[in-house]
Amino acid sequence: MYVSEHVQRRDLNAAVQQGTGTTLWQWIRQLSAGRCFVSDGQNLVTEDVTVVEGDVATISCRVKNSDDSVIQLLNPNRQTIYFRDFRPLKDSRFQLVNFSNSELRVSLTNVSISDEGRYFCQLYTDPPQEIYTTITVLVPPRNLVIDIQKETAVEGEEIELNCTAMASRPATTIRWFKGNKELTGKSEVEQWSDMYTVTSQLLLKVGREDDGVPVICLVDHPAVKDLQTQRYLEVMYKPQVRVSQNYPLQGLTREGEPLELTCTAFGKPQPTDMRWLRVDDEMPQHVVVSGSNLLISNLNKTDNGTYRCEASNAVGKSHADYMLFVYDTTATTEPAVHDSRAGEEGAIRSVDHAVVGGVVAVVVFAMLCLLIILGRYFARHKGTYFTHEAKGADDAADADTAIINAEGGQNNSEEKKEYFI
């Protein structure tokens, strides 16, 4: 038996409009029990939908090679949402976007977790065709919080920070940054029903350079972009001390001239105690100390030595040294370099002319020794020569006889031989 398309439409519309006790799906099942002509190659197409909670999801049921058969959309509970362009379901969040012979497109507003699942596209043919689309609902983290173990840390300490992203779906990935540098934390995931809470722990050893630097907790989640929170580090550290020479600005520190030094110190908290002292000796009576300044109005040789500036705060104490060498009034040599730097010990090393002179003396002495050794070597290895001339001539009465008596004579004389010893 063949049922015409006109009869299908008439009976289905009557079922919907008259509100009979037979459900729409039962009517479709009854009609499909007969035989309906379906053109070859007709099929349904749809796509899965991923949507953020609270946004709009759009479901599309499309027909290829349509022959004007009936299209309907069902929810995960198999309830009809739309039959052609009619909505039997009373949920007003479903709205018709487009209806034609080849497409049924429906929007769902204010999507929630309960809307997640499979939605079925059905095409009334013989036999009926069906395909489903899956709606996946993403939930961004409800809250993002950084807890820090200590509000104020001391340089060298290791502090603990925890970042928590609550009630997300799926679970979030947490990343840590200190300024622009990415750090590595350790994450734990807790699941509550269909939601996830992620907590990431970061252990960080801080230094004075970290004071005022932001630590950032950033979330990677498909439902949200650029979600982050941050805390600024507060690090306390002991003073950094530096000694500078105000006068003379350049040149030597000569006898009879003044010398003025200034001590500067920075720390957190700011240093509250600063004092000058002379290392390994008493401070000369004519030295005037006024706060961070040290003044010697008339330098003399007895002022030579190392002068130290000490500064302290609640964290600790640091110092910087200045080595003073007073030159004669006629001295023209460049002065020693006075370098003041604060550190763990604050010790300052200056270039000493005596060291330079000693190095030069050693070099000269080594060259003299080398010349002496070379002289002795050549003296011991010089050549020694022996000649053997006219043996027997000593007994001759005169010169002619000596020549005749010489061994071998003039014609037979041997060549002079040289021996190298």
pLDDT of the residue at 42: 54
pLDDT of the residue at 378: 76
337: nearest Cα among 243, 401, 265, 258: 243
pLDDT of the residue at 406: 52
DSSP string, 247-261: ESSSS--BTTS-EEE
* CATH architecture, range 143-233: Sandwich (2.60)
Tell me the fold of 44-138.
Immunoglobulin-like (2.60.40)
DSSP string, 266-298: EEESPP-EEEEEETTSPPPTTEEEETTEEEESS
Cα(256)–Cα(326) distance, integer angstroms: 9
Domain limits of the chain? 44-138, 143-233, 237-324
Of the candidate CATH numbers 2.60.40.10, 2.30.30.60, 3.40.50.410, 3.40.1160.10, the domain formed by 237-324 belongs to 2.60.40.10
Count CB-CB contacts under 10 A for residue 258: 13
pLDDT of the residue at 401: 60
**Residue % of the chain over a pLDDT of 70:** 74
CA distances from 404 to 200, 318, 388, 389, 400 (A): 122, 105, 17, 13, 6
Angle between helices 5-18 and 24-33 (to 10 degrees): 160
pLDDT tens, 32-61?
A: 333 333 334 458 999 999 999 999 999 999
Identical fold between 44-138 and 143-233? yes
pLDDT of the residue at 397: 59
318: nearest Cα among 242, 384, 412, 379: 242
pTM over 0.85: no
205: nearest Cα among 197, 215, 195, 196: 215
Walk along the chain (421 residues) in steps of 10 and give the mean pLDDT of each run. Answer: 36 42 42 36 85 97 88 96 95 96 96 97 90 97 93 96 96 96 97 94 96 97 94 96 91 91 96 93 94 95 96 96 92 50 38 63 87 80 51 56 52 45 41
pLDDT of the residue at 223: 96
pLDDT of the residue at 29: 45
